[in-house]
């Protein structure tokens, strides 16, 4: 469904000067600085997958999504989305994709939700019978009835998000980009969004690319994740492969030596050992040479594993 090969995006913006006459200096010097937002990234996403596209703030996630939706042109690399080059075939590509940005609505602020949905239907040339069937399914699935006649600006965040989701899938695109779809929502509303994504993916084999900082979304929805940081791809694989790592023994020693059994002290003065077999034997051999102040056993969880990858 999506093929990305050697994708890079470098932004070039005027260098700004501060201080007295800074604005004038910015104007007259015309110096530019470059920022590489996406740096030689390659991946493939198959039909029907739900992928978590993750990274810390400024990692390059939105820039990648903007390239995949055709809003931005890359500096180099090749991209195919359902066989199309998104920035060249922008209109055809737009028909293949639904997009939801959690931080801002795509709906018409002053129109009742139903009118916004009708407009989306006509913009995407959805025949009226198909529109009505699709709308009636979405009314059930997203519980739209109680606020279909309400202007979008009066909707609560959770209602607005349900409206945005409906607009994104009304024309049944094979591909859905969700950018922080649960940001700011309460627990129940988050759950409703996740159920909707699972159902949409299941019913129409819709491919979903999800960017989020909420790892509960990722654990609920994605089998596979792609991690990027500072524009570079750090990991591409299943969550199972990430989390299925040895448990760890964390030890705080009285004398805090630099190295114990080949393991260096970390920034918090702890020694962290991978547990492969005989845990009591491991503890006994450490205790034979050092006084143990504290010890604990850590199960690998997605958050700590991801933090570990970012820290590398
Ligand atoms: N239009 C632009 N002009 C210049 N620099 C930009 C532009 N858009 C993004 N950047 C820079 O590119 C880098 C990647 O930004 P991007 O928005 O893709 O990150 P992100 O992973 O989506 O972050 P977040 O999680 O905070 O939304 C950042 O350093 C950002 O400042």
Residue 78's pLDDT is what? 96
Ligand 1 nearest atom to the CA of residue 13, by list position? 4
* Separation CA 36–CA 76 (nearest Å): 11
Q: Which residues line ligand 1 (CB under 6 A)?
A: 11, 13, 35, 37, 55, 57-63
- What is the ipTM metric for this complex? 0.96
Residue 243's pLDDT is what? 76
Residue 262's pLDDT is what? 87
Residue 12's pLDDT is what? 86
Q: Which of 215, 222, 217, 232 is nearest to 305 (CA)?
A: 215
C-alpha of residue 176 to centroid of ligand 1, in Å: 21
Residue 301's pLDDT is what? 75
C-alpha of residue 9 to centroid of ligand 1, in Å: 10
Q: What is the pLDDT of residues 68-97, one digit of tens each?
A: 999 999 999 999 999 999 999 998 999 999
Q: Whose CA is nearest to atom 5 of ligand 1?
A: 11
Q: What is the pLDDT of residues 183-200, one digit of tens each?
A: 888 898 899 899 999 999
Average pLDDT by stretches of 10, the chain with 312 residues? 96 78 74 89 96 91 93 95 94 92 88 94 93 92 92 92 93 93 88 92 91 89 92 90 82 90 88 87 91 88 76 67
Residue 312's pLDDT is what? 65
- First-to-last CA distance in the chain? 31
- pTM, to two decimals: 0.81
* Separation CA 155–CA 142 (nearest Å): 14
Whether 163 contacts 155, CB under 8 Å: yes
Ligand 1 nearest atom to the CA of residue 12, by list position? 4
C-alpha of residue 177 to centroid of ligand 1, in Å: 17
Specify which residues 232 forms β-bridges with: 229
* Separation CA 210–CA 61 (nearest Å): 10
Which domains, and CATH codes, for the chain? Answer: 48-60+85-242 (3.40.50.300), 245-311 (no CATH)
| Burial of 211 from C-beta contacts in 10 A (0-12 / 13-18 / 19+) | buried
């Amino acid at each position: 469904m999506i093929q990305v090969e050697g994708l890079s995006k470098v932004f070039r913006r005027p260098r700004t000067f501060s201080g007295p006459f800074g604005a004038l200096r910015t104007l007259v010097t015309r110096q530019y600085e470059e920022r590489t937002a996406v740096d030689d990234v390659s991946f493939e996403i198959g039909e029907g997958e739900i992928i978590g596209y993750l990274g810390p703030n400024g990692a390059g996630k939105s820039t990648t999504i903007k390239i995949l939706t055709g809003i931005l042109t890359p500096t180099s690399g090749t991209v195919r989305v359902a066989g199309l080059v998104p920035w060249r075939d922008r209109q055809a590509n737009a028909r293949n994709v639904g997009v939801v940005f959690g931080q801002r609505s795509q709906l018409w602020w002053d129109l009742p939700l139903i009118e916004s949905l009708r407009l989306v239907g006509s913009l995407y040339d959805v025949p009226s019978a198909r529109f009505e069937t699709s709308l009636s399914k979405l009314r059930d699935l997203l519980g739209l009835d109680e606020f279909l006649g309400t202007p979008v600006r009066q909707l609560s965040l959770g209602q607005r998000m349900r409206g945005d989701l409906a607009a994104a899938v009304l024309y049944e695109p094979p591909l859905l980009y969700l950018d922080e779809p649960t940001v700011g929502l309460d627990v129940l509303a988050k759950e409703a969004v996740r159920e909707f994504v699972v159902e949409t993916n299941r019913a129409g084999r819709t491919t979903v690319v999800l960017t989020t900082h909420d790892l509960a979304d990722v654990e609920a929805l994605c089998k596979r994740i792609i991690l990027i940081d500072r524009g570079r791809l750090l990991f591409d694989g299943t969550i199972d492969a990430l989390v299925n790592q040895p448990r760890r023994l964390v030890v705080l020693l009285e004398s805090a030596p630099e190295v114990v059994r080949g393991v260096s002290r970390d920034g918090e003065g702890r020694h962290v050992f991978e547990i492969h077999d005989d845990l009591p034997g491991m503890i006994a051999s450490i205790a034979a040479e050092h006084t143990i102040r504290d010890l604990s056993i850590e199960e690998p969880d997605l958050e700590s594993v991801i933090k570990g990858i970012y820290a590398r």
